Every structure is written in C-alpha cells, then in structure tokens.
A and B are shown apart, each in its own frame.
Chain A
Amino acid sequence: MNQIMKQWSQREDLQVLSLVGISKNAGKTTFLNGLGRAWSAESVGLFSIGVDGEAQDVWSGRSKPEVRIYKGWIVATSGICLQNEADAWEIIEALPIDSVAGRVYLARANRDTSVKLTGVPTRQWASLCIEQLKKVGCAKVIVDGAYNRKVMASPVWSDGFVLVVGASFSPSLPALVKEVKGWMAKLLLPSTTDDTELYQSFYRQEVCALQIDERWVLFTSHEWIQSQGSHISAEDLKQATKLYFHGALTKRVLEQLRWSGFTGEITIPDWTYLFDLLVKGSQIQVLFPSNLLAVSINSTSPDGGQVNPEELRTQIQQVVGDIPVWDVYREEWNPDVS
C-alpha cells in the first residue's frame, strides 16, 4: 500500500487528490493520515471542504480527529486552529475566505505536528485554495471532502480521488456492499467515443444540447427544470438521438425524458452530475471519466460497531475489480518505503 502511495507522489499528472466518504465518519482522516505518512517528504498542501469545521463535528457532535502534518506542508485552515502551537507554524497568507470557524489562512509547518482542518464552505473557495496552495509551491494538494461533498472528486477539479467506505454507513455488511455497488455503477460509466470535441464545447458553454437529425438544439438545464422539458416539442424529443445534459441528472429528469419518448444516448460531464441511482435502461455516458485511484475501507464505526474486516475487504474488492482496496488501519506499514 505505501509503495503505491509513494508512487502517486511521483506522478506529475496527479497534482490534486480528493477524498470522498460514502458517509459521515467513514474514515477519511484516518486514510489521510496514512497517505500523509507516505507523502511526509513531499511538498503538500492540504485543506478540507464542507460545512463541518469546528473542533467538533457540527453534524454528529463528535470530536474531530486531528490531521497529522509534516514539516514543510502547507495547510489552509482557520486561524483559530493555528494558535495553540504558535511555534509550529509560519503564517504565509490570509485568504479572502471565511470558514465556519473564521478566516482561513495558509500556514507552513515548521515541524511535524497535528492540526484540525476547518472546512472551506464553497466550491469557488475550494478552487481558490487549490490555486493559492499551488502558487506557494505545493506540488500536491489534498482535498479532504466533508460529508456529501463529492463535487471536488470530479475529474474537472481533481486529478484523482479515493473513495472511503466506512462502517459508519451501516452495521450491515450487505448494505455496505450494496452502497458501494451503487457508487461504482456511477464511477464506471463509459466515456464518450463520438462527438467528444463537440461535447467539450457544450461543456465550456455550460449548455445542454439535443441532436435531432443533423442539427443540435441548445438550451440550459435551468430551462429544462423550469419547463419540465416542455420547452422542447414532444416530436423533437422522440426523434432525438443524443442528449448532452449540463446539469444535475436526477431521477426526475430521467423520468421526464422517458415519458417524452426520448430513447437516445445521454452524455453528462462526469459522474458527479448523476444524482440518485441509475434508472434501468438509460444509456448514460460521461465526457470526463472518473479517476478513482483506490478504495479505502474502515470496518469500525465511531459507535464501536464493527463488520468483519476481512469479509469487508474481500467483498468490496469483488465489487471494485482492479482498483486497490486498502484497510489503511490494518495494513502493515513498510518502514523501508517512507
């Protein structure tokens, strides 16, 4: 495991890595600390995205774990988190970002230490954090995603992500496995082979497009939602063979398409635009394929419950195929690698 993590640190195409949990308290911080150990000698920037940011999780009230930081790493977090160990930090920048716990600063670690990361609440600010961390010299940026914030795992924002599966989702192993299957169905959607450049131009324009015969009809996802699809004639929808949808593809939208008689191929920018489970029979593909690097599992829930760790690993591996599955807490750490 740590060998592969070390290899990631050497990949130039992997500059931004995100962590996404399937539930609260899935074990992202534990994984992050494991990854950090492998990347301790690298030039790393780190921040968290989401509403949870206090010392205690605002959802569960539990004490948030601290993140292990290594000398030279740069974090983006609220000032209040940096003040306890003044000797550990060099404050290098004040960002125009307000987290739940106050203004966000960039600080470089003068030695190995720990810190709590307060979440940056919006995607735009997350994008600014990434930009600023790169600007101050971070070769790698790790984004610790908070609950239900999978947007940063989009291939548009990050170069790779790790899915963290924890028993906090359910004490039932079959339920956990089923949930992961649902995620994988989205993550393994095929990518476009035809019209890719055209779809990319629609993506840049942020418009939806429907192909009827040789022509493309453009509209926005907002128009679709407002009119529930009725702004396009039923005839056109029946005849259409392709749809590029630049918006949240929900079950409702899929059903509206089906009722209208549309049977063609649907393309969305990436898997993060797909909400709800897939409706059977829909042909959906993505413009930007997902870049899932690994699945990290955690068989223990914060309540003390546990599923069989060996069984969990075996069954998850069966679902995800070739993607590495790691139980970072149970894996032996190879001291020769880091």
Chain B
Amino acid sequence: MFLDSETAEALRISEYLKRVAPYTPLGKKWKGRLKPYTHSQVGEWELDLHDQQEVMELFSESRATYFLTCCELVDDIDIALQEVLQDRSTMLTWFHVKRFLVTWFRWGEFVSWESSPRFMRMNPEEQRKLHFLLLLLQKSGRFTTTFEVSQLGDSKWLEMNRQKNQLMKEIQQLRKERQKQISGRLQRNPNFQGEWVISRHQESAKLFAVDPDIKLVRETIYEQIYELVPDKQEHVWQEQLLSFQEKLSIHEHSLFRQINRLFRDHIPFLQSLVQRWTRLDLLWAKCRAAQSWNGVRPVYLENQIRIIEGTLPLEQEAWKQKGYEMTPVTLAMKPGCTLLIGPNMGGKTTALRVVGLCTVLAQYGLYVPAKEFRFPLFPWVRTWIGDYQNAEQGLSSFGAEMNRLAKWIDPDPENQGLILLDEIGRGTNPIEGSAISCAITRYLHECRAWAVHVTHFPEALQIEGIQGYRVRGLSTIPKWDPDHPNQTDDWIRLLYKAMDYHLDPIEDQDVVATQAISIAEICGLPEKVIEQARTAVKQRIQEGD
C-alpha cells in the first residue's frame, strides 16, 4: 500500500486530490481510480507530466472555456457504446453517441488538430472515420447535438412518416368537420377532448340519445357523455394509420439495427476517442489543481530528494487569512536518516509535511507546490506526525508509535519507502525515549533508508555521518509583558515575528535548540514556573547533563 490512512490524513491528501476535478462523468470515474505511479513506472509518469505541460501550454483561456462547454455535452458514453455492442441501441443511445462525435468534430474545428495535445490529434484517416460516422447519424452534414430519427435521412422512413402524418391530419380534419356539423345540429359544442357532456335533466339530452353520428360512452347519475362515431372513411383511415404505425416502428427498429451494425465495426475507434477525451479531461483537471497551488513539474532524480521553496498550500491559505506568511522549505537529502532540529514551534513538522506532500503529489502525477522538486519514486510513504493513541486497541501514544514503526522498518534495500518521523520516543521517559529515538535513527541511517526525523534528543547528532537541518530559530526573545492587554492572544503573532523558519544544514558543532523555556514564556506561563525551569536547566548544565 503506497499510503496508509494515517499518512494520507496527516498530509491532507484527500483535500488536495479534491482539487483534481474532471468535468465529465467518465473523467470523474477515472479520477476515482487514480493511483500513484510506482518506481517501475518512471516512463509512464514522465509521459503524464509531459502531457500536462503540453496541455497547459496549449490551453489558452478561450480554449479552456470551450473545452468546458464541450465537456458539458459528454455524458457517460461508455454505457451508450455498450448498448451498441450488445445490439440494444435506442434513440437515446444514438443521441448520446452523436453528441459525443459532434463534440469531437467541433473541437477539431475550434482548436485544429495541430494545436491539440498530441494524443488528441486525429490523423486524416481518423478524421474521415469521424465524418463518416457523423454522416450516418445526420445525413444532411449540418451536425447538431440533438437527435431524431429523421436525421438518419432514410428516404423510405421519411416517406412513410410523411404519409402517416398526412393521414393523421386528414383524420383530425375529418373529425373536426363532423364535430362542427353535429354541434350545429345539436346546438352544443363538445369539450376540449371532443366529447359532449350533457346533463341528464337537459331537454336536449333526448336529441343526443337518438343522433346517429354520436354514441354514449359513459354516464353518471348526473350526466351522459357522448363521442363521435367514426364514419366509414375514418375507419378506413384509422386502419391505414395503424398499419403505417406498425410498419414505421418495424422500419425504425431495422434502421437502428443497421446503424448498430455499421457502428460496431468502429467500436475500437470510438473507444479510443472516449479514452482520449477522458484523458484530456483528467489531465486538464490535474493542471487546474496545479495552477491553484502554483505547482512545478517534479523531476526524477535517483539518489536524492531536493526541494526548493516547497510549501503547504492549504495551510498557507489559512495562515494568509490571519496575516501570516509561510516560509518556504528548502532542503536536500540522500539515503540515510536526515535530522530536523530546532526550537519548538519552529516549523519542523511543517518541513516534514512539505517533504511528504511534495512526494505524494508528485507520485500521483501532479505538479507540486514548490519552485523545484527532484526525487526518486518510492514504493510507499509513511508518516508519524501527531498522536495516534488508540483506546480501542489499548494503545497509548508510545505503544501506537512502536506498533506502526515495527511495520515500516524494512531492511530490504529494494523496498525502501519514505519515512517521515516526528519526535519518536517522546511518549515515554526521557532516558529510554532518547535511547529508542537514537537507535531508530542510527538503524535507519545505516540501512540507508529514506527517512526524515524531527527530534529534540541531542544524542542523535552524535551518529556518525548523520545529515540534517536546523531551524534558525528565535533571532530575539520577545519580552513577556504582563500588562499588555492582548498578550495571551497575541503570543502566536509575537512568536511568528521573532522566529526565523529557514533551514540551515547541520554542522558538526551543532546542538539541539534550547529556546523551549523562552517560547513557554511567550506563551504566557506564569513567571514563577519559568524561573524554576531556568534554574533547573542551569543546575543540570553544571552537573554535566
């Protein structure tokens, strides 16, 4: 499994993928089946990204708008093609098929094949096929997105239909004339349905009862209802009409079967059109998502991860509303464990998330929120960010941590995924916690696993050859002012202003940050607590801890 649910949740992947919003029903189906590329699919992955680039270059505003308009006409054409394949086509089938083909035709006219993305281009043979199929459904050649049987242009059907309609008109006219005569005779018009509704108590009821041209069809305690008795001519015409309707229906079925047969020969072509349109829909959806977070095309790099100015767009948008700017993350890492150290609230977990997000989005074939991103493709990604206590399973934070870690650590060099760890070992006593944290870091480093570990334990820095980054930290320590009316509310703002979130490579003499008490002070802990904490730290330093 490329991502487990905890990792997906920690990186808010579903929220990002929501921005990939295809227009068509099939596009949405394809999106539902979206999977990350594996490390054995580098070629396909690069093709996906290349096609997105091509689409972005070709899609001007007018083309993008036109594409949306076209997509509104593209239904779940798969179902229609199935009906054709199974010889179950109806008028609605041909409506959907025709609309789809007209959409392609109009796209070609609007954009021109040369200006279309490479997989959308139709060679002359395909263009001829498209035209041929459209003419089967609309003989006139003036292609519309509607469908009616007359558009097939079958002369026999057209003539039969004309005759049938003519007959219907004549019957209607005949009845109208006869009704007029009867109305004149009986001094009463029929209702809108051509029936005479007569109250039983009316004098004229007797006349109605004996008129030879009308018959009683219903009666109640209050009234009687009469309708016209068809004369000989009408009988003849009604029989002819029935016969016409039957013949017409049979001929229609035969027409649909004929069209069906002709189309079945071209099903592979039609299916390729469906795939190509759906592909474009999905690609353009990916492009729009990438544009929403100013994405850059990721690049394959075998033995390094390199991020230049990576961000978390969702968090960035939220912070912007509060008036904060996110400092982009820039770092590079090789196989082996990379440490991230720095003061609390220094953005270490954010940096961890940036690495995770860029990697996952890139592997889904998406542009990533960075200025540059290079990486190898991973078989899986796992994060430990947050508290995964699980009371149901009886797991404490520590227990959950160990339980998950045990599943990830894999000595097999062929199956090294990306592991992102946030302060392993904090959930237990500091001595053992530090020991476990350090041991895991060393193990991952020696296995040359791809891992990033945020830690406050200084022992990790002693591991030979360990690489890492430190947050620059608080440049000045803001003063706690108990008289400031909004001190408590503004502590985040104070911290934000004072903190330098940039990452610098760890150097040999680096130690873990010691600004926790200052940060606690900014957060508003009582002065007495802060003083006692500072005294305790001094004491431990003097004792050599």
Contacts and interface: CB of A to CB of B under 8 A. Distances in A.
B189 A94 contact: no
Contacts of A87: 149-150, 161, 164, 248, 252
A321 interface: no
Contacts of A195: none
B376 interface: no
B146 A90 contact: yes
A332 interface: yes
Nearest to A328: B192
Contacts of A299: 222
A176 interface: no
Contacts of B183: 335
A332 B168 contact: no
A306 B147 contact: no
A275 to B, nearest CB: 35
Interface stretch (A41-49, A78-86, A117-125, A239-247): A78-86
Nearest to B98: A91
B498 interface: no
Contacts of A91: 91-92, 95, 146-148
A296 to B, nearest CB: 12
Contacts of A309: 199, 222-223
B237 to A, nearest CB: 16
A83 B190 contact: no
Nearest to A90: B148
A199 interface: no
Contacts of B176: 335
A135 interface: no
A275 B265 CA distance: 61
Nearest to B148: A90
A69 B188 CA distance: 26
Given A87-B248, A308-B222, A310-B199, A333 B192 contact: yes
A105 interface: yes
Interface string A94-127: 1000000000010010111000000000000000
B92 A105 contact: yes
B189 A335 contact: yes
B91 A331 contact: no
A89 interface: yes
A2 B192 contact: yes
Interface string A228-268: 00000000000000000000000000000000000000000
B75 interface: yes
Nearest to A304: B220
A335 B191 contact: no
Interface string A296-316: 000110001010111000000
Contacts of B92: 79, 82-83, 91, 105
Contacts of B223: 309, 330
Contact of B91 (A86, A328, A330, A333): A86
Contact of A333 (B147, B190, B252): B190
Interface of B: 75, 90-92, 95-96, 99, 145-150, 161, 164-165, 168, 172, 176, 179-180, 183, 188-193, 197, 199, 220-223, 248, 252
12 contacts: A86-B252, A87-B149, A91-B91, A92-B145, A94-B75, A108-B146, A299-B222, A300-B220, A306-B221, A329-B197, A331-B191, A334-B189
What are the 10 tightest A-B residue pairs by CB atom distance, in nearest-first order? A90-B148, A332-B189, A91-B95, A37-B192, A34-B192, A92-B146, A333-B192, A79-B92, A86-B91, A330-B197
